[in-house]
Structure 1
Amino acid sequence: MPMKWQLHNVDAIPWLIDQSSDDYDALVTDPPYSSGGLHAGARTSDSANAKYINDPGKYPEFTGENRDQFSHMQWSTLWLTHAHRVLRAGAPVMVFTDWRQLPVMTSALQAAGFTWRGIVVWDKTEGVRPQKGRFRQQSEFVIWGSKGKWHSSDGPVLPGVFRHSVTAGGPKMHTTGKPVPLMSDLIKACPSGTILDPFAGSGSTGLAAIRSGRFFVGCEREEAYFNIACERLSNTA
């Protein structure tokens, strides 16, 4: 039986540079946000987990979370530019971000050569970060677009808001992990073929891709999460 997935334990940018042009059918990914702190101490902390969860020791740590906004935009433009080259014409692109980095990421997407087409809202439900007297931070965002023209004018009309709890489909395996049902919903907009994820984390995009009958190729530089993702993908495949 042919392999349904490939995952590489390497950094995204040099890996993307080594890939052939026009090789992948869609990009669906959740890169580090470099967000989560109002003050310099939080933004420059060595602990990414401490910015996002109450129990920093619950998940393995990950790096790339302490860039300032300008360097985050430059870095995002760089990896997106390399991703643009390896995608086929018409390929959809979907990139997660939060409210702080939303303006930065929409600019980076366009600077890399993609056509920006809109924003999908992930409603994480009311169970997330209640604060008395304030609005809940219960949404994250998926910036979506394409490499040139959209790949198809057929298919179902998909919603612009998806409502899933952070543990929908099973417990989180990553500090900022996305639920597999959410990823499955997003992948419905992708053509058949190979889904690319340069920031694979615990492998949720890959699980959704395999379950939909597509192929998955990605990379994850943190060894702990690479091992978690490989185990999950192996059990799914």
Structure 2
Amino acid sequence: MKKIILAINLILLSGVVSYAQNYINGRAVRFGFKVDPVFANSFRPQENDINRTGSGFGVNYGLMTDILFSDGRGAFATGVEVAHGSSKLEYKTSNRGLYAAQAEGATQNYKLRLQYLQIPFSVKLKTNQHSGFRFWGQFGTYLGALLKSRMDYSYGNVSETNVNVMKNTNKVNMGLLVGAGGEYQLAEKTDLFFGLGLENGFTDITSNRSWNDGKVALNRWALRLGVFF
């Protein structure tokens, strides 16, 4: 799956470069900034003895770039952003877990808080503009590099908070990116951007040799809010 995602990234990136060379001198490249409230931020365990017991909230923020198709009804969409992930996990088997892998006979509870530097690669298709409004749909992928990883855990009478687990967390996160929404033209070259997006992770975010934790992926639902210039 990782090879497929990397191939998609390369194909979309080559398209971005090609269109940038052809249209950079017109207003075929739009830049903007965004703030995305993440209202459902959760881990997706792949094992039967692991439960997700909570979903975290957060805010992603960053810069957006749309490299427009020649007809203006589509674009290669990319940019750079700081993205957050937070959720809770419960392990019911004493010989399985994250930080404390040998919790004798006790249920283990964990809360991971992750931060990534993330680059999306996607194709965005748009409707014609009507009364200043137009609608868009988006499909693609993203690639994230881990910036920070902290964890709280407890089992039995043992607990600890804000543990640095950077070395125990997968440094790369990739997945599927889909979204839909609209734009409203505020001025000749200023557009309000809004919508809803899903990031469906494919990568095991806790993959390492220290934790007997099974595969855990990261999913996020977020509002898309921003302005293009």
Kindly indicate which of the two structures has a greater share of residues assigned to strand. Answer: 2
What is the TM-score with the length of structure 1 in the denominator? 0.23
Comparing both structures, which one devotes a greater share of its residues to helix? Answer: 1
TM-score normalised over the length of structure 2: 0.24
> Comparing both chains, which one has the higher relative contact order based on Cα–Cα distances under 8 Å and sequence gaps of 6 or more?
1
